[in-house]
Amino acid sequence: MNHDLSINIDYWAVQEGKRDLRQLAGIAEFQNNLSQEYVSRVHGRPGDLGGGLYEFAIQVIANISIQDVVKLIADGIAFDLLKSGTKSFVLRPFLAAYEKLKAQNADREVDIDEIRFMFNDAEVIITKLSANSIYDSLGDVFQTLTQNFACLRNSDGEYPYTIQIPVFEDPERKLCRFRVLLDVDETIEGVTGADYLGYWGLYYDFEGTFRVFDVKRKLLIDSDFLTLDRYWQEWERDYNRNKSA
C-alpha cells in the first residue's frame, strides 16, 4: 500500500443464477490495482435491469483536511497528486485504474454515480449529471473549490462541513428553491457538466444551517436546499397534507 487513502466502492450488477453476478471484465485486476495503492474495498451487489447497473458509489476517506487540499492546489500541485509530509490525497492511481476498467467494458456503461470525499474537517459530495460527468469534471471542481473556498465562510467565520456539488434551482419551487437532481420524475432539463460550477449546497455544523453558494457570482445565498432524502420527505408531507385537506 503506497497511499494513505481508503476507497470503498459499491455497485449493482446483473444477477446470474442464484449467487453469481455478471461481472465486469477486468474487475479482479481493478481490485488488485487498488489494493496495491490503498486500503480498498470493491463490492458488487445483485441489481435489476431498471437502471443504475455498473455505476459506482465511491467513498474516499483521506487523512488530510480540505484546507490543506485547497492550499496545495493553490500552490500549483495537481489535484490528484496532493502530498505534504504525512498528509496525502493521491487519486491518480485510482483514476488510472478506473479509466482502464471503463475501457475494458465499453458495452456496460461503467460510470460513477456519486463520489464522497471525506476529509478531516469536511465532506465533498459530487453526484452524476450525465455520462462520465464526474470523472471528466473532477479537476475543474477542485480548482474551482480552491478559487472560491474563502467565500464559503459564514458570518461567524465557519467553513461548511458538507459541500454538495451541484444543486439546482427548482423550476416549480413548490417544496423548495434549491435541490439536488431527483432519481425519478425529474423536471429540470438541459443538465450538463457545466452545472458543476453553478450552485453548491452547503451545511454548517455549528450554525446548524443550510445555504447555497452561487459559484459564478461568488455569493452565499441564505436559502435552504434539499438533498434527495429530504426532498422525498417533504414531498410525502406535502402529499399527506393535501390528501387530508
| 47 part of a folded domain | yes
What's the whole-number average pLDDT of the chain?
Answer: 93
* Span 164-184, average pLDDT: 93
Angstrom distance (rounded) from CA 197 to CA 228: 20
Q: What is the pLDDT of residues 20-47, one digit of tens each?
A: 899 999 999 999 999 999 999 999 999 8
Q: What is the pLDDT of residues 53-99, one digit of tens each?
A: 999 999 999 999 999 999 999 999 999 999 888 888 999 999 999 99
| 100 part of a folded domain | yes
Angstrom distance (rounded) from CA 147 to CA 218: 10
Half-sphere exposure of 23 (CA within 13 A, CB side): 12
Distant-in-sequence, close-in-space partners of 171: CB < 8 Å, separation ≥ 6: 187, 188
| 71 part of a folded domain | yes
* Among 45, 41, 83, CA closest to 62: 83
| 20 part of a folded domain | yes
64 by Cβ neighbours in 10 Å (0-12 / 13-18 / 19+) ranks as buried
Would you place residue 245 in the very low, low, confident or very high pLDDT band (cuts 50, 70, 90)?
low
| 136 part of a folded domain | no
Identify the residue whose cell numbers are 465486469: 24
| 43 part of a folded domain | yes
Would you place residue 1 in the very low, low, confident or very high pLDDT band (cuts 50, 70, 90)?
low
pTM for this predicted structure: 0.94
Number of structural domains in the chain:
1
Return the SS3 of 162: strand
| 64 part of a folded domain | yes
Domain with 15 in it: 1-121
Angstrom distance (rounded) from CA 159 to CA 204: 7
DSSP-derived letter for residue 136 is H
- How far, in Å, are 24, 132, 224 from residue 98 at the CA level? 12, 11, 35
| 90 part of a folded domain | yes
* Among 227, 197, 195, 199, CA closest to 213: 199
Contact 12, 54 (CB under 8 A): yes
